[in-house]
């Protein structure tokens, strides 16, 4: 809940209708009709799949039937979504899904968002987005890619068939209740009734489902053997759009977590967060490695593998959140659909491996790496780190499951473990984002390296020195003191790296920004000199001439700015205090005066607000109003509504824990979180840069208009596409929600009083073992069991017991699952060994590549007669290479002058 500049929030605007007013049941038999529609969709998708396979095997006359079958399948899925939405709006509680995720007091927009509030509806939502992407792709292809098109359609229809089968036999959103029809429903999870959830899940799912299009083209290229740049040119816009939506979804999820969950952070390495993050890492790797193949025909096997892997990870992420195997604050309940996903993932693994092995000879690279000092090798390092990060997150996320299966012992992998490993990986990756744009292709000479890196390196050193000299005076010391406790040498080394990470993070940000600014300036200066253009005109012309290149640079700056915000977490200041009305508390220059509490009620919930006057160095800057909401349908799941005052320097994050109804004494947790706003600003730049890269060039637009062939699209296709786009716009405006199982974590999450840093070090390592908490530490859990345990541990600290000894005894009493970070011993040592092994293997890989390059050193052979004619994209890349050469020549002349 954002802060109110002019006082407390007003009472709810318009009262809802009487929540218990009964409406007549709909005249149509929605459950039966919905089931029939899903069955018909399966038949149509199977028909389209069969026709597409026939067309792919040489009977091209069947392609039109395959397209029409795909359009018809899309129309039936749209009809199913509309029917389920109608059931929610009419409160058709005969449908079990409607009864579980809605009630009569909910406003219409949340009734619509309930479509995706649970597992069954989310699968229908996935299918809806899939047919939307499919329809858009088919309309876009028209008469292009005739050889690939049949297998693209067949692949997309096979994916749709899988999801429809799961809905029909395991998670039918139209299934009816076995008992009597309830008069009212259970209601949507309170944590999902948030405005950010209106756009977060649709965007995230759009990113997930969007990778189906590149995967379908990759399969089509493997089946047909057309493995040159044709399929890469086809998927380029689809990859960028899918990556963009996935990035937006991740960012909006961070905002939702920051504002709604009330724990004070934006990323907790939750399994659901990781399920979305892993495909993003693989997709980012592909975006970089594909440029190497487009220019020099290298990494062809690797790129096909990455496209298949990113789609596989989207299915794995869907399985992870819907199987119920891993506890999460916002995963779905345990169900029987997991086995369907396991079989489907096994099929994908076998099919993709077989196709790549079949076409392996055709996928061999046309050229070899010429030098370790080149942009190709920088991109290769980039890919190794991104894939290494993905593997690390995958192993850490699934390690509790592996431990349970292999030794019947529960363990927990908490955020501290992720942060200690991912922070150094992230900083190295950020530094490479600055190296890639300026280092030469093929082989960089010493003179080029000096010219390209001198100014950015000087800027980086100056920023680092400034940070060392003045950072502490401004509240941002270059070195921080780790609060984590580790028993092993590896843990202590990671803690030492974490302590100096702010300095390296700031210097890496400066290096990236310096290289990007230099690239923009170099190109602008050349145009100003050669074309006689002004600075602004030359900059705009330069950017529009190479949108993909300079859009990528803007994305790099956006990521660098986001790292500024991530670095700010090292400087958090936190304080908790119980206040009576009129009393104040001081936090990092802010003074907060507690003025009192007040209650409001609406038909859906009861709200308790607390009013705090906020003073910044004696100057009034407004009122903070943290609150708690208790929903009528979920009285045991109160939500924490935080108040956030965002400024470029820091956020003032205020949480109300408890209020005594008699004395009005309230307990507040106040966090000053520096630089958080820079995360959201960097995300905006990332979005703008991607939009610039994906937008068509002027030449492409003119070529499309001058096309001699008239474009003919069937009226049926136009009608279906228009309907899908219109419905998608309505749904995206008022949608929401990735479901949560039962919200048990929200019962316990809250503020606790931590008196000193030693207590924080201890409580953040220990998990609440009351039996009803999910991954909550004693530093966050507010239940009675956790309060009693903290009191006991405080007594042990007061008697001068060693912190490590207390942790060891806690583990002995409750088992390995009671620690937020597994110990480095026994089977748990494997979790520590995976990232270490990855680093060692990467080092050996670099040495191996270097030796191969040294043995092969010499002129690169010219392409043989079997090399295909350059595509338009390759010609554009050649022109870009010529532009780089002319740019370097111009810079050299300027240097000599």
Q: What is the pLDDT of residues 623-649, one digit of tens each?
A: 999 998 888 777 777 888 889 988 888
List Cβ neighbours of 111 (8 Å cut-off, separation of 6 or more): 88, 89, 102
Structure-block tokens of residue 160: 């749709």
pLDDT at 686: 94
pLDDT at 189: 72
SS3 labels along 831-855: HHHHHHHHHHHHHHHHHHHHHHHHH
pLDDT at 44: 95
Q: What is the mean pLDDT of residues 326-342?
A: 65
Torsion of CA 161, 167, 173, 174, to 10 degrees: 90
**φ, ψ for residue 591, nearest 5 deg:** -115, 125
Report the chain's mean pLDDT, rounded to a whole number.
Answer: 79
More confident residue, 791 or 333: 791
Smallest CA-to-CA distance from 262 within 658, 577, 571 is with 658
- pLDDT category of residue 676 using cuts at 50, 70 and 90: very high
Q: How far apart are CA 254 and CA 377, in angstroms?
A: 33
Q: Give SS3 for 774.
A: coil
Q: For the chain, what percent of residues have pLDDT higher than 90?
A: 29
Q: What is the pLDDT of residues 101-131, one digit of tens each?
A: 888 877 777 777 788 778 888 899 999 999 9
Q: What is the pLDDT of residues 830-839, one digit of tens each?
A: 666 667 676 6
- pLDDT category of residue 14 using cuts at 50, 70 and 90: very low
- For residue 467, count CB atoms less than 10 angstroms from its CB and return exposed for 0-12, middle for 13-18, buried for 19 or more: buried
pLDDT at 632: 77
Q: Is the pLDDT of residue 60 over 70?
A: yes
More confident residue, 789 or 173: 173
The H or E element spanning position 113 is helix 108-113
Smallest CA-to-CA distance from 848 within 430, 384, 535, 468 is with 384
Q: How far apart are CA 773 and CA 597, in angstroms?
A: 29
The H or E element spanning position 203 is helix 200-210
Span of 187-201, 825-839, 870-884 with lowest mean pLDDT: 870-884
Burial 797-835 (b: 16+ CB within 10 A, else e): beeeeebeebbeebbeebebbbbbbbbbeeebebbbebb
Structure-block tokens of residue 799: 């008697």
Q: What is the pLDDT of residues 511-545, one digit of tens each?
A: 999 999 998 998 888 888 888 888 888 888 888 88
Q: What is the mean pLDDT of residues 261-281?
A: 85
Positive or negative: CA dihedral 726, 727, 730, 735: negative
Residues in the chain: 897
SS3 labels along 39-50: HHHHHHHHHHHH
List Cβ neighbours of 219 (8 Å cut-off, separation of 6 or more): 151, 152, 155, 352, 355
The H or E element spanning position 206 is helix 200-210
Tell me how far the alpha carbon of residue 675 is from its chain's centroid.
20
Q: In the beta sheet, which residues pair with residue 852? A: none
**φ, ψ for residue 865, nearest 5 deg:** -65, -20
Q: Is the pLDDT of residue 891 over 90?
A: no
pLDDT at 829: 61
pLDDT at 185: 77
CB 638 within 8 A of CB 659: no
More confident residue, 232 or 662: 232
Long-range contacts, 142-149 (Cβ 8 Å, 24+): 142/711, 142/712, 142/713, 143/709, 144/234, 145/230, 145/234, 146/60, 146/63, 147/224, 147/226, 148/217, 148/220, 148/221, 148/224, 148/226, 148/230, 148/231, 148/234, 149/55, 149/63, 149/220
CB 778 within 8 A of CB 789: yes
Q: Is the pLDDT of residue 339 over 60?
A: yes
Structure-block tokens of residue 661: 């109804």
pLDDT at 737: 32
More confident residue, 256 or 609: 609
pLDDT at 332: 47
More confident residue, 286 or 105: 286
**φ, ψ for residue 464, nearest 5 deg:** -60, -45
pLDDT at 546: 83
* DSSP per-residue string spanning 783-848: SHHHHHHHHHHHHHHHTT--HHHHHHHHHHHH-GGGBSS--SSGGGHHHHHHHHHHHHHHHHHHHH
Q: What is the pTM of this model?
A: 0.82
More confident residue, 426 or 406: 426
CB 587 within 8 A of CB 650: no
Q: Is the pLDDT of residue 355 over 90?
A: yes
More confident residue, 34 or 703: 34
CB 822 within 8 A of CB 829: no
Span of 289-303, 361-375, 487-501, 636-650 with lowest mean pLDDT: 487-501
Q: Pick the most confident of 95-109, 206-220, 578-592.
A: 206-220
Q: Is the pLDDT of residue 11 over 60?
A: no
pLDDT at 515: 93
- pLDDT category of residue 865 using cuts at 50, 70 and 90: very low
Tell me the Cα Rg of the chain. 29
Q: How far apart are CA 744 and CA 392, in angstroms?
A: 28
pLDDT at 528: 87
Tell me how far the alpha carbon of residue 326 is from its chain's centroid.
19
pLDDT at 747: 40
- pLDDT category of residue 17 using cuts at 50, 70 and 90: very low
Smallest CA-to-CA distance from 579 within 564, 597, 566, 603 is with 597
pLDDT at 83: 92
pLDDT at 863: 42
Q: How far apart are CA 240 and CA 246, in angstroms?
A: 10
Q: Is the pLDDT of residue 761 over 60?
A: yes
SS3 labels along 22-67: CCCCCCCCHHHHHHHHHHHHHHHHHHHHHHHHHHHCCCHHHHHHHH
CB 394 within 8 A of CB 388: no
Q: Is the pLDDT of residue 23 over 60?
A: no
**φ, ψ for residue 437, nearest 5 deg:** -65, -20
Q: How far apart are CA 419 and CA 494, in angstroms?
A: 10
pLDDT at 757: 64
C-alpha distances in Å from residue 400, one per residue of 68, 233, 405, 825: 46, 41, 9, 15
pLDDT at 895: 41
Q: Is the pLDDT of residue 876 over 90?
A: no
Q: Is the pLDDT of residue 261 over 80?
A: no
Q: What is the pLDDT of residues 439-477, one digit of tens each?
A: 888 777 777 788 888 899 999 999 999 998 888 888 888
Q: What is the mean pLDDT of residues 769-779?
A: 67
More confident residue, 498 or 338: 338
CB 99 within 8 A of CB 185: yes
pLDDT at 740: 33
């Amino acid at each position: 809940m954002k802060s109110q500049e002019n006082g407390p929030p007003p009472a709810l605007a318009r009262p809802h209708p009487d929540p218990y007013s009964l409406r007549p049941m709909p005249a149509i038999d929605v459950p039966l009709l919905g089931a029939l529609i899903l069955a018909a969709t399966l038949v149509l998708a199977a028909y389209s799949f069969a026709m597409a396979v026939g067309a792919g095997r040489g009977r091209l006359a069947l392609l039109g039937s395959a397209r029409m079958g795909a359009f018809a399948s899309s129309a039936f899925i749209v009809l199913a979504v509309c029917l389920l939405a109608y059931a929610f709006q009419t409160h058709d509680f005969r449908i079990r899904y409607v009864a579980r995720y809605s009630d009569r007091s909910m406003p219409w927009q949340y009734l619509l968002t309930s479509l995706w509030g649970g597992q069954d509806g989310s699968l229908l939502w996935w299918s809806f987005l899939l047919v939307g992407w499919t329809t858009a792709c088919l309309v876009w292809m028209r008469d292009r890619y005739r050889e690939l098109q049949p297998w693209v359609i067949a692949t997309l229809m096979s994916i749709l068939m899988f999801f429809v089968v799961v809905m029909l036999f395991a998670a039918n959103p139209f299934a009816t209740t076995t008992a009597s029809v309830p008069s009212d429903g259970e209601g949507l999870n309170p944590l999902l009734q948030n405005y950010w959830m209106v756009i977060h899940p649709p965007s995230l799912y759009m990113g997930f489902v969007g990778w189906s299009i590149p995967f379908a083209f990759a399969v089509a290229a493997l089946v047909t053997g057309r493995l040159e740049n044709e399929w890469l040119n086809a998927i380029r816009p689809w990859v960028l759009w899918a990556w963009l939506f996935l990035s937006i979804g991740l960012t909006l999820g961070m905002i939702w977590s920051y504002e709604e969950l009330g724990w004070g952070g934006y990323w907790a390495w939750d399994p659901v967060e990781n399920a979305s993050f892993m495909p993003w890492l693989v997709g980012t790797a592909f975006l970089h490695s594909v440029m190497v193949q487009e220019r020099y025909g290298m990494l062809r096997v690797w790129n096909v593998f990455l496209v298949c892997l990113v789609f596989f990870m989207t299915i794995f992420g869907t399985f992870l959140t819907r199987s119920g195997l891993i506890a999460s604050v916002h995963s779905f309940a345990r169900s029987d659909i997991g086995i369907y996903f396991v079989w489907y993932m096994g099929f994908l693994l076998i099919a993709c491996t077989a196709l790549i092995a079949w076409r392996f000879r055709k996928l061999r690279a046309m050229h070899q790496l010429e030098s370790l000092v080149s942009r190709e090798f920088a991109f290769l390092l980039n890919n190794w780190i991104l894939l290494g990060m993905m593997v690390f997150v995958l192993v850490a996320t699934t390690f509790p499951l592996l431990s349970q299966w292999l030794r019947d012992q529960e363990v927990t992998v908490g955020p501290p473990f992720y942060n200690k490993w991912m922070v150094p990986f992230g900083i190295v990756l950020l530094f490479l984002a600055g190296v890639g744009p300026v280092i030469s292709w093929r082989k960089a000479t010493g003179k080029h390296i000096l010219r390209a890196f001198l100014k950015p390196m000087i800027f980086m050193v100056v920023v680092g020195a400034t940070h060392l000299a003045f950072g502490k005076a401004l509240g941002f010391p270059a070195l921080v003191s780790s609060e984590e406790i580790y028993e092993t040498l590896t843990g202590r080394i990671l803690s030492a790296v974490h302590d100096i990470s702010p300095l390296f993070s700031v210097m890496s940000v400066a290096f990236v920004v310096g290289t990007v600014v230099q690239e923009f300036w170099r190109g602008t200066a050349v145009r100003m000199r050669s074309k006689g253009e002004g600075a602004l005109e030359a900059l705009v012309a330069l950017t529009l001439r190479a949108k993909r290149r300079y859009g990528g640079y803007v994305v790099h700056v956006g990521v660098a700015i986001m790292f500024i915000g991530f670095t700010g977490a090292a400087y958090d200041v936190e304080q908790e205090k119980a206040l009576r009305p009129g009393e104040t508390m001081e936090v990092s220059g802010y003074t907060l005066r507690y003025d009192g509490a007040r209650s409001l009620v609406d038909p859906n919930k009861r709200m308790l607000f607390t009013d705090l006057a906020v003073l910044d160095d004696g100057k009034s800057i407004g009122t903070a109003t943290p609150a708690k909401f208790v929903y009528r349908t979920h009285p045991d799941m109160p939500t924490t509504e935080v108040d956030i005052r965002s400024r470029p320097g820091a956020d003032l994050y205020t949480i109300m824990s408890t209020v005594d109804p008699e004395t009005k004494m309230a307990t507040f947790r106040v966090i000053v979180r520096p630089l958080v706003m820079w995360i959201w600003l960097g995300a905006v730049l990332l979005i703008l840069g991607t939009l610039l890269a994906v937008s068509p060039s002027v030449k492409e637009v003119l070529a499309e208009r001058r096309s001699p062939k008239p474009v003919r699209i069937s009226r049926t296709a136009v009608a279906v596409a228009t309907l899908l786009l219109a419905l998608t716009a309505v749904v995206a405006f008022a949608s929401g929600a990735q479901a949560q199982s039962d919200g048990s974590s929200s019962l316990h999450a809250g503020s606790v009083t931590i008196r000193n840093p030693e207590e924080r070090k201890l409580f953040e390592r220990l998990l609440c073992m009351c039996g009803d908490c999910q991954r909550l530490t004693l530093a966050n859990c507010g239940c009675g069991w956790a309060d009693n345990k903290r009191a006991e541990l405080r007594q042990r600290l007061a008697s001068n017991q060693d912190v490590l000894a207390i942790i060891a005894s806690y583990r002995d009493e409750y088992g390995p699952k009671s620690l937020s970070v597994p110990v480095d011993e026994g089977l748990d040592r494997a979790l520590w060994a995976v990232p270490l092994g990855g680093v060692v293997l990467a080092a050996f890989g670099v040495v191996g590549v270097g030796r191969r390059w040294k043995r092969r050193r010499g002129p690169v052979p010219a392409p043989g007669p079997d090399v295909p004619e350059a595509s338009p994209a390759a010609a554009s890349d050649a022109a870009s290479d010529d532009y780089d050469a002319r740019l370097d020549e111009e810079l050299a002349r300027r240097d000599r002058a």
